[in-house]
Amino acid sequence: MQPPRKIKPSSLADYLEVLTKVVFQSGMSWRVIETKWSGFREAFDGFDPATVASFGPGDIDRLAEDARIVRNRRKIEATIHNAETILALDREHEGFGGYLRSRDSFADLVADLRRNFRFLGDSGAYFFLYVVGELVPSHEEWEASRRQKASA
């Protein structure tokens, strides 16, 4: 299996797009999400965090009926929350990339990501950080660490 393609984020929308893909892929076939991804981009206005963060109940209802995307209301709400969180962390750390580099270790960053963002687990955090070009342990090291935690 090929590793996911890395990107060099040029805007907050790039971070929100990758994060949203992680959220919607959780528990789903990745092929389904990839097939619908252009519809996601349209439905979520290019993943502009300010626009997505401003979505209200009517927008949630509209998206929950939009056949271009996976119509999971909780994940739609999580995407709106995650857009708000990206904006807040961007302001707080003078850039979202600064936030991603503000923790002492990979494990601390993953724990913080899980606290701040909805529908984001360890695997999703690893995928997100890898794709946006942040330093992550090798997949083998990461898996070994996860196995070690699980057996402790």
Residue 136 within a domain: yes
> Residue 140's pLDDT is what?
87
Contacts 24+ apart (CB under 8 A), 23-32: 23/75, 23/78, 23/79, 23/82, 23/118, 23/119, 23/120, 23/124, 24/69, 24/70, 24/72, 24/75, 25/124, 26/75, 26/119, 26/121, 26/124, 28/70, 32/70
Using CA atoms of 28, 29, 34, 40 in order, give the dihedral in degrees to the nearest 10.
-20
> Residue 125's pLDDT is what?
97
Residue 29 within a domain: yes
Please give the residue range of the domain that contains residue 27. 12-151
Token couple for 48: 């502009």
Residue 142 within a domain: yes
Report the CATH number at residue 36. Answer: 1.10.340.30
Report the distance separating Cα 27 and Cα 37, nearest Å: 16
The pTM score is 0.94
Residue 145 within a domain: yes
Which regions of the chain are under pLDDT 50? Answer: none
Residue 105 within a domain: yes
Residue 51 within a domain: yes
> Residue 40's pLDDT is what?
98
* Number of domains the chain is built from: 1
Model confidence over 34-50: pLDDT tens digits?
A: 999 999 999 999 999 99
> Residue 1's pLDDT is what?
62
> Residue 142's pLDDT is what?
80
> Residue 146's pLDDT is what?
78
